[in-house]
Amino acid sequence: MKNSSKIKKSDLLLLHHLRKNARTTITDVHKSTKISMSCLFDRLDILEQETILGYTSLVDFSRLRWPIRIFFIAKTKSAVPHCRSINSITRAENCLIVEGIFRNMKELDEYRERLRETGIEEVEEHHVLEELKVESFLTDEKHLNMIPI
């Protein structure tokens, strides 16, 4: 959280419930935690301003006929080409990690060519075969003790 608010035990409990199910209600969190509804609403307002980046759905893109998922690791500090198939770009040490979701090999090949045209010298490709764990941190009560308050 930003320096304007100190993290509280109620924040962690609320985040824990939202990480498990972002559609959970404040009433359900109240019943589970015994934290007052007004406190939960107040803390949620602060968390949404300072900590929660957004609410999203996890999608199985292969069910939407976008079966090719790949991570490119581009050894560059400059930008990579934009493409509708790019799901995320993360800056890491001396590289960008680009997640692409492609409908077919032709679209993947076209993006590979665009990467080559930018002059990025080294690009690794890692095809996703299976997701083994997704967005699980802070969904288990054991995680609550890992964050200092």
Looking at the structure, tell me whether residues 97 and 115 fall in a common domain.
yes
Rounded to an integer, what distance in angstroms lies between the CA atom of residue 100 and that of residue 84?
A: 9
One domain, residues 51 and 66: no
Q: pTM for the full model?
A: 0.83
CATH of residue 24's domain is 1.10.10.10
Give kind and range of the element (H or E) at residue 86: strand 86-92
β-pair partners for 69: 101
Domain span at 88:
61-127
d(CA 136, CA 140): 8
> Could you tell me if 22 and 74 lie in one domain?
no
Strand partners, 91: 96
Contact 28, 22 (CB under 8 A): no
Instruction: Report the C-alpha gap between 23 and 17 in whole angstroms.
Output: 9
Identify the residue whose tokens are 């993006």.
Answer: 111
pLDDT, tens only, 71-125: 999 998 788 999 999 999 999 999 999 999 999 999 999 999 999 999 888 999 9
Query: Are residues 100 and 77 both part of a single domain?
Result: yes
Worst-scoring range by mean pLDDT, 53-62, 72-81, 140-149? Answer: 140-149
> Is 132 part of any domain?
no
Whether the per-residue pLDDT at 2 is higher than 50: the answer is: no
Classify residue 72: in a domain, yes or no: yes
